Amino acid sequence: GDSVTQMEGPVTLSEEAFLTINCTYTATGYPSLFWYVQYPGEGLQLLLKATKADDKGSNKGFEATYRKETTSFHLEKGSVQVSDSAVYFCALDPSNDYKLSFGAGTTVTVRA
């Protein structure tokens, strides 16, 4: 079935470092792709999304581009802050389904 695979963590960075979290997907159709963020002790928040190939989602300095040729949706941020410490989830919506398929999550810790 449709699924996503994201890089395992944890990832530890210094402030102002470049962050990349890899996400690849397997899908039979043309899914929408999402990145969610979960700050400590909270629920998930939608960070960004892309609905078709070559779309770029962006929010709060984060970006991800829907790459159909490589079936990827990698999350990037050029200069991270301590406040970016969180768990990041990649997700896709399988075609003709109400459910989202989530990756396992990547824990990111940014040190001052």
Partner 1 sequence: SQTIHQWPATLVQPVGSPLSLECTVEGTSNPNLYWYRQAAGRGLQLLFYSVGIGQISSEVPQNLSASRPQDRQFILSSKKLLLSDSGFYLCAWSAGGAKTQYFGPGTRLLVL
Residues that bind partner 1 (CB under 8 A): 32, 34, 36, 41-46, 49, 89, 93, 98-100, 102-105
Smallest gap from Cβ 52 to partner 1, in A, equals 13
77's enclosing H/E stretch is: strand 75-77
Smallest gap from Cβ 5 to partner 1, in A, equals 12
Nearest to 102 by CA among 30, 9, 5, 11: 5
Token pair, residue 68, equals 């159909």
User: Alpha carbon of 72 to those of 12, 33, 54, 105, 111: distances in Å?
Assistant: 22, 9, 11, 16, 28
Nearer to partner 1, 82 or 104 (CB): 104
Nearer to partner 1, 45 or 83 (CB): 45
Smallest gap from Cβ 101 to partner 1, in A, equals 9
